[in-house]
Amino acid sequence: MGLKNLLEELSRVSPNPEAEIDTILKLEFSSSLVQAKVSGLSEHEIGKLEKIVHERVSSGRPVQYILGKAIFWERIFYVNESVLIPRVETEILAEKTLEIAKEIRARRILDVGTGSGIIAITLKEELPDVKIFATDVSEKALRVAHRNAQLLNAGVTFIQCDMLSCFGENTFDIIVSNPPYVGESDPFEEYRKFEPHIALYGGEKGYEFSLKLVRQAQNRLKKRGYVIMEVNPFNVEYFVESINLKHKIYKDFNGLKRVLVIENG
Ligand SMILES: C[S@@+](CC[C@H](N)C(=O)[O-])C[C@H]1O[C@@H](n2cnc3c(N)ncnc32)[C@H](O)[C@@H]1O
């Protein structure tokens, strides 16, 4: 079976077969779809791709869970069904956080709902002198995050905690989060049936979790500290209306509102 047939087979379950083959090639062979189109694939590569595509089509499971790994910020992270699959949009959140952290010379940053640890670990890799803390309410997710921190040799402090309940006042310069923000009536994404409910759903409207997080962050942040969070582009207008705080919103590469930044006054 050649690349063309594999793409065809994958299109039975995937809205974007090219992107998925590209992901498999990157994760398994440090290659890419462009490279495969130019130089072709070896028999070994085709054989492996066939096996993965077959499992993907028959089980419906996302390739990242099949392979047990995912890419974020050009690094490979271990993932399993206890954590959300890292999304490329979240790189914009990490990028904005890095930019602000450098600007204000942040000393202590907290990542709430760390999941596989992608945000906290990326921040630690890019800002080795900053103290990075990361929480999750899910013990299973924290195990994945720990494993990734060990694999990438990143000194992050992980704490099992319900939102911000275990921290005192004036603790952080930045609180960053990619919170669960899907609402009960939001359009269904096929992947979601394999990902943890707790990582996805943020309440009936979707932004209840985020609202609570912003409120809890107010006194945990130092003066002139920042909350930087990923938002659901489809309910962000209602969300910002209910927080009623001065903020900025940044768009993703599809022109969708994706990152909310609030400076603590
Ligand atoms: C959308 S996922 C984000 C995971 C990861 N940060 C990422 O960007 O891929 C949200 C995370 O929040 C965690 N979570 C849900 N409720 C929580 C709570 N009350 N306190 C802390 N973390 C929570 C979930 O377990 C999940 O790992």
In a domain, 15, yes or no: yes
Same domain, 157 and 212: yes
Does residue 7 form part of some domain? yes
| Structure tokens belonging to residue 2 | 């050649």
Statement to judge: residues 33 and 104 lie in one domain: no
Residues pairing with 229 in the sheet: 177, 260
User: Do the Cβ atoms of 84 and 200 come closer than 8 Å?
Assistant: yes
* Pairing outcome for strands 108-112 and 172-177: parallel
Residue 73 lies in a domain: no
The reply to whether 75 falls in a domain is no
- Domain membership of residue 78 (yes or no) is no
Instruction: Give the distance (Å) from ligand 1 centre to CA of residue 136.
Output: 6
User: Which tokens sit at 254?
Assistant: 């599809």
Which residue range(s) make up the domain with 191?
A: 90-263
Residue 80 lies in a domain: no
Distance, in Å, from the CA atom of 81 to the CA atom of 147, rounded to the nearest integer, reads 14
The answer on 258 and 203 residing in a single domain is yes
Q: Do 174 and 256 belong to one domain?
A: yes
The closest of 200, 224, 220 to 141, measured between CA atoms, is 200
Residues 63, 99 within the same domain: no
- Token pair recorded at residue 159: 């704490």
Distance, in Å, from the CA atom of 79 to the CA atom of 11, rounded to the nearest integer, reads 24
Number of structural domains in the chain = 2
Kindly report the protein residue whose alpha carbon is nearest to atom 8 of ligand 1: 178
Whether residue 79 is contained in a domain is answered as no
Pocket test for ligand 1, best of 119, 138, 162, 229 (most atoms within 8 A of CB): 138
Ligand 1: atom nearest CA of 177 is 6
Could you tell me if 199 and 132 lie in one domain? Answer: yes
Distance in angstroms (rounded) separating the CA atoms of residues 165 and 217:
10
Pocket probe mutation, ligand 1, options 84, 140, 229, max atoms within 8 Å of Cβ? 84
Distance (Å, whole) CA 53 – CA 81: 19
In angstroms, the CA 147 to CA 117 distance is: 9
What's the 158 CA to ligand 1 centre distance in angstroms? 13
State which H helix or E strand residue 8 sits in: helix 3-10
Positions in the chain short of pLDDT 70: 188, 191
Mutate to test the pocket of ligand 1, among 73, 75, 83 (most ligand atoms within 8 A of CB): 83
- CATH number of residue 115's parent domain: 3.40.50.150
Nearest residue by C-alpha to atom 14 in ligand 1: 113
Environment class of 115 (CB within 10 Å of its CB; exposed 0-12, middle 13-18, buried 19+): buried
Tally of CA atoms within 13 A in the half-sphere of 2 that contains its CB: 4
Q: State how far the Cα of 25 lies from the Cα of 18, in Å rounded to an integer.
A: 11
130 shares a domain with 252:
yes
Distance of alpha carbon 97 from alpha carbon 1, whole angstroms: 44
pLDDT for 192: 77
Residues with beta carbon inside 6 Å of ligand 1? 83-84, 86, 90, 112-116, 118-119, 135-138, 141, 162-163, 178-180, 198-199
Same domain, 236 and 128: yes
125 and 53 both lie in a single domain: no
Q: Is residue 200 part of a domain?
A: yes
**Are residues 33 and 110 both part of a single domain?**
no
Residues 25 and 161: their CA atoms lie apart, in Å, by 37
Nearest-atom number in ligand 1 for the CA of 90 is 8
Q: What DSSP assignment string belongs to 12-37? A: TT-S-HHHHHHHHHHHHHS--HHHHH
Whether 63 and 105 map to the same domain: the answer is no
